[in-house]
Amino acid sequence: MIAAFARSLLSGAVVSGTPLLYATLAELIGERAGVVNLGLEGVMLVGAVAGFVAAVHTGNAAVAVATAALAGGVFNLLFAYLVVTRRANQLATGLALMFCGVGLSALIGARYVGRQVSGLAEVPIPTLAEIPVIGPALFVHDVLVYGAVPLAVATWWVLYTTRWGLALRAVGENPVAAFAAGKDPRVLQYQALFIAGMLGGIAGAHLSIGVARTWAEWMTAGRGFIAVALVIFAKWQPLRAIAGAFLFGGAISLQLQLQALGVPISPFVLDMLPYMLSLVVLAVWGGSRRHAAPGSLGRVFQGSP
Amino acid sequence: MRGRAVVLSILAVLVSFVTAHAQPNLVVGILHIGSITDAGYNQAHAEAVEVMKKNLPGVEVIEVENVPEGADAERVMENMIKRGARLIIAASFGYLEPALRVAQRYPEVKFVHPGGYKRAPNLTTYWSSTPEAFYLMGMAAGKVTKTNKIGYVVALPISFFLANVNAFELGARSVNPKAETRVVFTGMFLDPAKEATAAAALLDQGADVLGVIVDSPITVVQTAEKRGAYSVGYHYLGAQKFAPKGWISGIAFTWGTLYTRFARQVMDGTWKSENILGNLSDDFFTIAPFGPAVPAGVVGLVNAKKQEFIAGKAHPFQGPLRDNTGAERVGAGQVFPMTDLGKMNWLVEGVIGQPK
């Protein structure tokens, strides 16, 4: 009984947390380059619908994920053009991008509602999947689940140990200084936003062809905004993002598990659980975020003085 | 120049002649709360309008999707009336107040509203009582389950949804005293990823039948099938193709006949304000054929009960009934009236879940 509950809880946490982690990394990379993207929700939806459409037509999950990543990346380039080249306000443009993504995905997806896809297959990892409780909970998932944590580690590695990562962080802190050092902030921001778009697209595809295996209008249901908050929660650190995404996913899973178990707590209270938990963690670990946020986050680079 | 003017005026006359003949007998406006391709609630209303158009070729339809409940809905309705609409279908629960306000301003226009609890001289309300159908599907599920545990993924603890779950459990228990129904509320009308996690949680708790009351049943039905469990659908009968093995049954609204009737009545002047509550004998909803998982004997049992409901010899909420805290809700020899479904804020004994 307890073993079944633990297995179900862990498995649900991993499944709910995976799209959040991809989305959080997407937002984090963009913000490290100094760009806040409130349109992530729209990017995820474009990825979700592109992945689903590709899965319907090709029946190939790898092609579907690649299509989702490309669609998300290209869609985010539109955002990059507006905020980097046209120097538009990031917050307003992000919100516009969100609504644009909602509408565009609904338009493309309308013909695909109720279509069947085989989606991402579950690939049990040999040996590890045999471990009691933990095995079936953690090692019987699709490849995007397995890829999420290594991707967070890779993001950390790129940001902190490579020249490109250093340049990217420099742009986020002080684009004028980065420019003086010979790095064009605009180029780096375009690169960061393209990669962010790809990750956002993958996050969406995991929802449409990994978890739900269906397309529905606005099926991200606010996860893009949760990811924006998780970046702050993670203090712009990719490794902390792992904890944030899976803690939040775990809270979603826990509240559903408790209901299935028949715990006598109001479903309304349980539904607040992930958000209450986030508030508690922020309060306890709060500390000073003054030095955590990239110095020039949200500012528009006007060119060298 | 003059010749040209003559030609133009002849053309103008011709055009007005042609358009006059193309004038529809009736313009019907319909507002949807969501997208008409949701494989669920909105699609059912949109398909009903198509049925009406097919039955009455002279009818023209103005259809608007994603209309927020409130002032926007009023504006859309007035716009439809300006474009000639004489019958407005305000196809969402929250359109009731806006529709009543517009109805007062345009007494010559007829309004119809699904599930409304208030009427006006030019506003009819209509709904169909679904608990009987859920009772019947519960009977089938109660016979099919091996673990005696049925899981229900439900959007929100709304009285009509609670009533359906209660009827389902009562139906299941009528044929299988050990059957219990566990409910998980997702808090959203549509969040497929969360529905998948909720469905998995119920299956992990030992449920081998899953039911669903959210906008689109696809995710839950599909999750059940993947795990080798049975499923009961709602809103969209096309969901059956996602569960070739485990499908038990499902219901979906089919308002086509009713909409045809409304339009015809408006055209011939016999329309009047009513409160229509359909039941099993009307064709306001369809019960999907039972899947291969349901043995023929069970189908016979269910159909016999269906005839009892239609003949008024049975009632899904026949007392004595206790709620799941043990309190008596319906006394022996009494029934819970179908007209009071909006007040059913409790879950019946045998359902594991919190109604508020």
| Confidence (pLDDT) at B7 | 56
Read off the pLDDT of residues B13-54 as tens digits, 9 standing for 90 and up.
555 544 444 557 899 999 998 888 888 889 999 999 999 999
Per the structure block, which two tokens stand in for B206?
A: 């030992």
CB spacing of A214 vs B222 below 8 angstroms: yes
Q: Which residues of chain B have pLDDT under 70?
A: 1-23
A119-146 mean pLDDT = 91
CB spacing of A211 vs B354 below 8 angstroms: no
CB spacing of B193 vs A219 below 8 angstroms: yes
Question: Which chain B residues are within 8 Å of A111, Cβ to Cβ?
Answer: 37
| Confidence (pLDDT) at B20 | 47
pLDDT higher than threshold 60 for residue A304: no
Read off the pLDDT of residues A174-183 as tens digits, 9 standing for 90 and up.
999 999 999 9
CB spacing of B198 vs A106 below 8 angstroms: no
Read off the pLDDT of residues A195-243 as tens digits, 9 standing for 90 and up.
999 999 999 999 999 999 999 999 999 999 999 999 988 999 999 999 9
For strand B180-185 and strand B209-213, is the pairing parallel, antiparallel, or unpaired?
A: unpaired
Q: Counting Cβ atoms within 10 Å, is residue A158 exposed (0-12), middle (13-18) or buried (19+)?
A: middle
- Residue bearing tokens 């991993």: A14
Per the structure block, which two tokens stand in for B218?
A: 């696809």
Q: How distant is the Cα of B217 from the closest Cα of chain A, in angstroms?
A: 10
In the beta sheet, which residues pair with residue B120?
B123
| Confidence (pLDDT) at A287 | 63
CB spacing of B236 vs A266 below 8 angstroms: no
The phi and psi torsions of A49 (rounded to 5 degrees) equal: -75, -40
**Shortest CB distance from B196 goes to which of A7, A211, A223?**
A211
| Confidence (pLDDT) at B11 | 54
Q: How far apart are CA A216 and CA A297, in angstroms?
A: 33
Single-letter amino acid code for the residue at B315:
H
Quick check: ipTM above 0.90? Answer: yes
Report CA-CA distances (Å) from B341 to A153, B307, B335: 54, 22, 12
In the beta sheet, which residues pair with residue A275?
none
Q: How far apart are CA B222 and CA B206, in angstroms?
A: 17
Of the candidates B42, B39, B37, B44, the one whose C-alpha atom is nearest the C-alpha of residue B239 is B39
Residues in chain B: 356
Interface test with A, best of B152, B183, B205 (most A CBs within 10 A): B205
Report yes or no: B181 and B148 within 8 Å, Cβ to Cβ. no
Interface test with A, best of B47, B194, B212 (most A CBs within 10 A): B194
Q: How far apart are CA B182 and CA B201, in angstroms?
A: 11
| Confidence (pLDDT) at A98 | 96
| Confidence (pLDDT) at B10 | 57
Q: Which residues of A67-85 are buried (b: 16+ CB within 10 A; e: fewer)?
A: bbbbbbbbbbebbbebbbe
Q: How far apart are CA B97 and CA B72, in angstroms?
A: 12
Tell me the pLDDT of chain A averaged across its residues.
92
| Confidence (pLDDT) at A216 | 92
Q: How far apart are CA B66 and CA B64, in angstroms?
A: 7
Instruction: Write the DSSP symbol of residue A84.
Output: I
| Confidence (pLDDT) at B40 | 85
Q: How far apart are CA B292 and CA B246, in angstroms?
A: 8
CB spacing of B193 vs A16 below 8 angstroms: yes
Q: Taking phi first (over 0 means left), then psi (-120 to 50 degrees means alpha), and beta for anything else, what does residue B46 get?
A: alpha
Read off the pLDDT of residues A147-193 as tens digits, 9 standing for 90 and up.
999 999 999 999 999 999 999 999 999 999 999 999 999 999 999 99
Q: Which residue of A has its CA nearest to B155?
A: A267
**Shortest CB distance from A221 goes to which of B39, B151, B188?**
B188
Instruction: Write the DSSP symbol of residue B33.
Output: S
Question: Which chain A residues are within 8 Å of B206, Cβ to Cβ?
Answer: 4
Q: Predicted confidence band at A4 (pLDDT cuts at 50, 70, 90)?
A: confident
| Confidence (pLDDT) at A244 | 93
